[in-house]
Chains A and B, each alone.
Chain A
């Protein structure tokens, strides 16, 4: 299935150029948790229900233009709506039946701020004083109503928790139930959640929020105004299995052995031979297991690393490897001089490093860990790399154009997903 457009609401920016510029920096300007800056392209301000407690982020949203019925949407839904609006062209909707365009989303914690606010009303033990509109926004799929009403789309629509929205999208497209599906992920930041995650043993340095939407179309679907270049990138394969453990808690040291994780990833990498891998950070248990799988797959005789002169890019001099504490950079961005000389990316891989191929450490420095949005965000970042024909500095740096990138993510339900993002067959490989 082809990625025909993307929509982003992330700590690193809300459009591809801004995000790409952030990825080109060897040390982005990160001063702790980053608030998603929601688009302010419409008049007026709007205070969403369910945003009153906790997070301290994204205070105001501009929402003029949203149908009146959708104005009571939560901030969670609004994040998804903003990303969805960016991922679709009006002519696609106007020219097709509304029921042929769908939305399949995922999240790890859903509209948690709204749920906690309603739960606090509930323990007040005065049911007559509980807010009905707040309750209506507690369901994870409320965002789908907001998005579908706003865009006027009526196709297959469903919400998953930490699992397989890309695979379900692929199935729905293959069955001909839709021509285009907005496959999205939303995670809303919450301070209490971040504190709890760290107490429970999550290894992420920085928890953050993001809404990312991939507009996915069947390989043979024709969309008005879509050029070949627009649809150059596809998700070639998706695969997942159960870890049987909660991926956000304290992971056992024997994780790789208990779950067969290394062998499963290795088999996948050997089969699909990606040029680069975007997985978990090197300092995490999952990241270390992934690195063992990458090392093993590279050592195999049939791997292209042995057959060609372009091994997977190596995370060169990752600032993340300098220590285990999040960097606090007060101002400005530091650009790698070699990146400037080469038009934005390093021209060579630092072969002195002994770390296995990995784009991941820099990814988490730029975006933080966006929980249920992790896989989609990685797929969107991989698409950017493939389109721009390079691995940018923050992701390790390589001027050689990648043609296929594997993205790996462990999800809240214990589901572990791998997706191949690649140039369309015939376009490269």
Chain B
């Protein structure tokens, strides 16, 4: 996990515990004509733009670091994954991460390079030779990529799946959200009464997914269990969500149903929570409809909006919350809006609480909506036996 709030998950957890935001200024490109100076740039200085055909793009650089951490943490190596051949697959999300050569072509830095791409270079860094899924559904892509990997394993079509996403901070997306007048002048304040827009971030997160019993048998560290996901489309507006929250509610409900739990069992929602008036209003309605007294926070206040990688980053934050029993807060949430919605906004500092089930939401331009249901993993010797469900065992009940 690499974000403005830390170059690894331990640092992220530390910052999240304190409610310390990683949003600050950037030197990647001039910001004097923009309405904000705040961005979620990664602490490590990755080269911003490709200057020669042999250069690694910012997406590749971030991915390379993530891949190393992923293999180390999963206790795997590229050779082991290569041995699995088609049984190891890759499900990845990016959006502006596909624009490197297009931008270099338009800027005449690398003329006639517009057809080039770099996504084919990513699976070999992990030794993966199986199917590749690259999701480009904008801000819902990361969540969908993880859901896709879950489906592949659940269907018995893969033994291991590397899933997640990376998106870099770029002028392209910054100028775009500036033109939409969506950028917050200050660090974003999701669900706050004074919220005025988003803060762009960058980074990514990768997961190694495998069937629970396989992970247990090889002694893998398990952070959480993927139980289900929902996908849908608001069919309402090119850039704005359905303000009633029905689209968001549908995908959360679909995820919960696939997971075989009741809505009332959802303990926490890592909200899409961009900090725009429209999104947060819609999402609060949707969550209240699903689970009225649910804990809710938006980690975009810590990392910025990582666009296509947001779903992956926030799924990682959710998995860490489940594993460590610590709900990350929404930074900058001083005056919660939605007095009528009985949601329990976590703010200030992380809240220690053991969680059973949590949702991570992502919504996008084009009306795309996605929600991922994660469950706490309970070690077998701690829990009573329960029937595995579609390759992913249901975690045992844990104290709330």
* Chain A contact residues, CB within 8 Å of chain B: 69-70, 72-73, 98-99, 102-103, 107, 109-110, 112, 115-116, 118-123, 125-128, 130-132, 134-146, 148-149, 151-164, 167-168, 171-172, 174-175, 177, 190, 192-193, 195-197, 199-200, 202, 239-249, 264, 412-415
Q: Which of B123, B134, B176, B232 contacts A157 (CB 8 A)?
A: B232
Beta-carbon contacts under 8 Å, B77-94 to A = 85-86, 90
Q: Is the CB of B131 within 8 A of A241?
A: yes
Question: Given the known A-B contacts A244-B120, A414-B132, are A99 and B232 also in contact in the complex, defined by CB atoms under 8 Å?
Answer: yes
Residues of A within 8 A of B197 (CB): none
Q: Is the CB of B238 within 8 A of A70?
A: yes
Residues of A within 8 A of B233 (CB): 102-103, 144-145, 148, 153-155, 157
A-B contact pairs, 30 of them (CB 8 A): A98-B235, A118-B176, A122-B171, A127-B33, A130-B178, A135-B177, A136-B365, A141-B365, A142-B238, A144-B233, A148-B234, A148-B235, A148-B367, A149-B237, A149-B367, A152-B235, A154-B247, A158-B368, A159-B135, A164-B132, A164-B133, A168-B151, A171-B148, A171-B155, A200-B116, A244-B123, A246-B120, A248-B117, A415-B131, A415-B133
Chain B binding surface, main DSSP class: mixed
Q: Is the CB of B232 within 8 A of A196?
A: no
CB-based A-B contact count at 8 angstroms = 265
B102, CB-defined interface residue at 8 Å: yes
How far apart are the CA atoms of A314 and B364 in the complex, in Å?
47
Residues of B within 8 A of A245 (CB): 120
Q: Which of A70, A123, A200 contacts B115 (CB 8 A)?
A: A200
* Chain B contact residues, CB within 8 Å of chain A: 30, 33-34, 85-86, 90, 95, 98-99, 102-103, 105-107, 112-117, 119-120, 123-124, 128-138, 140-141, 144, 148, 151-152, 154-155, 171-172, 174-181, 230-239, 247, 250, 254, 258, 364-370
How far apart are the CA atoms of A249 and B114 in the complex, in Å?
12
A401 CB to closest chain B CB (Å) equals 31
Q: Is the CB of A72 within 8 A of B128?
A: no
Q: Is the CB of A144 within 8 A of B180?
A: no
Q: Which of A148, A158, A413 contacts B137 (CB 8 A)?
A: A158
Q: Is the CB of A199 within 8 A of B135?
A: no
Residues of B within 8 A of A156 (CB): 231-232
B113 CB to closest chain A CB (Å) equals 6
Q: Is the CB of A177 within 8 A of B254?
A: yes
Q: Which of B154, B178, B234 contacts A154 (CB 8 A)?
A: B234
Closest to B95 in A: A139
A33 CB to closest chain B CB (Å) equals 16
Interface centre among B85, B120, B137, B178 (most CB of A within 10 A): B120
Q: Which of B98, B144, B180, B236 contacts A135 (CB 8 A)?
A: B180
Residues of A within 8 A of B148 (CB): 168, 171
Residues of B within 8 A of A142 (CB): 238, 365-366
